[in-house]
Amino acid sequence: MQVELGRTGLSVTRLGLGLAPIGGLYADVSPEQARATVDRAWDRGVRLFDTAPFYGYGRSETRSGEALRGRAGHVLSTKVGRVLERQDDGESDADVWAGVDPSVRPVFDFSASGVRRSFEDSLRRLDRDRVDVVHLHDPDDHLEQAVAEAYPELVRLRDEGLITAIGAGANSPDVLAYLVERADLDVVLMAGRYTLLDRSGTDLLDLAAERGVAVIAAGVFNSGILADPRPGATFDYAAADEVLLDRALRLKEIAEAHGVPLRAAAVQFPLRHPAVASVLVGLRSPEEVDDAVDMLAVPIPDELWAAIA
């Protein structure tokens, strides 16, 4: 099933594939597994794919481009706001990105020239001459420059026919609201703030609906706890405290009492808001793709939604 992505003229599937994991997020992924993951998503009908220069320091874009080359009828998004610089000290975020090139470092740059350079570098890695959606990526500490310089450069890229839609991606709903109110965005990508455990992004979704801005909801498992709530599970990439774990376990009990896996409720919950066009799930294997697609198709009774409202 595909739906309109707001006013962009693009159509997306209700489930999108987040491509950070195939870039090596927290664990290395072989080229073969990365390709098999994208192939399985395609075979299961997924037609929204999201990458970024930051993901694996360019490796996610390169692998995405190879896997999607020659395929039509999908929407691909990437991001600007960081440029990849060569360095001599060999330092890298090895605790976040496995298998990355140690001679490369991502550097924030929301200047017009930085946006243009980032985009052109992305086109080379993706082996494309245009991209459907480009997001301002994590502009939290650069908001004024993002509005004054980065956004107008994206407008120029759109006017040149190089992109179709302009968006912004961040964790913070306040950051996204700031941008929605000051720039004519087509879409926003919000991670982890409209989930079964964290609904702090509700006001942003309402604002987006009012402004006609489409929303892609990412981080629906809050980095793991809603996929498998157990001691040691993570919430926003850190160990969940006892209160959060108890809440997640209670949600699991409620879901299973209605015959529904918690993962299914977590994937489908954001789609209940009218502003949300698609949920984006980061996956690193064909098996994870199968599970996400299957969870999206699980029938969920209204009684379950009422019980966790």
Q: Would you say domain 2-307 falls under CATH 3.90.1150.10?
A: no
Strand partners, 125: none
CA distances in angstroms from 236 to 77, 175, 222, 226, listed in the order given: 23, 17, 5, 11
Dist. CA 245–CA 267, nearest whole Å: 18
The tokens 């990105």 sit on which residue? 97
End-to-end CA distance of the chain: 26
- Residues annotated as catalytic are 50, 55, 79
Output the tens digit of pLDDT for each of the chain's 309 residues. Answer: 899 999 999 999 999 999 999 999 999 999 999 999 999 999 999 999 999 999 999 999 999 999 999 999 999 999 999 999 998 665 556 578 999 988 999 999 999 999 999 999 999 999 999 999 999 999 999 999 999 999 999 999 999 999 999 999 999 999 999 999 999 999 999 999 999 999 999 999 999 999 999 999 999 999 999 999 999 999 998 999 999 999 999 999 999 999 999 999 999 999 999 999 999 999 999 999 999 999 999 999 999 999 998
**Residue 283 tokens, joined:** 């996956």
The tokens 């999201």 sit on which residue? 50
Amino acid at 219: G
pTM over 0.75: yes
CA distances in angstroms from 127 to 37, 55, 130, 131, 252, listed in the order given: 19, 17, 9, 10, 43
Write down the domain spans for the chain. Answer: 2-307
The C-alpha R_g of the chain, in whole angstroms, comes to 19
How many residues does the structure list for the chain?
309
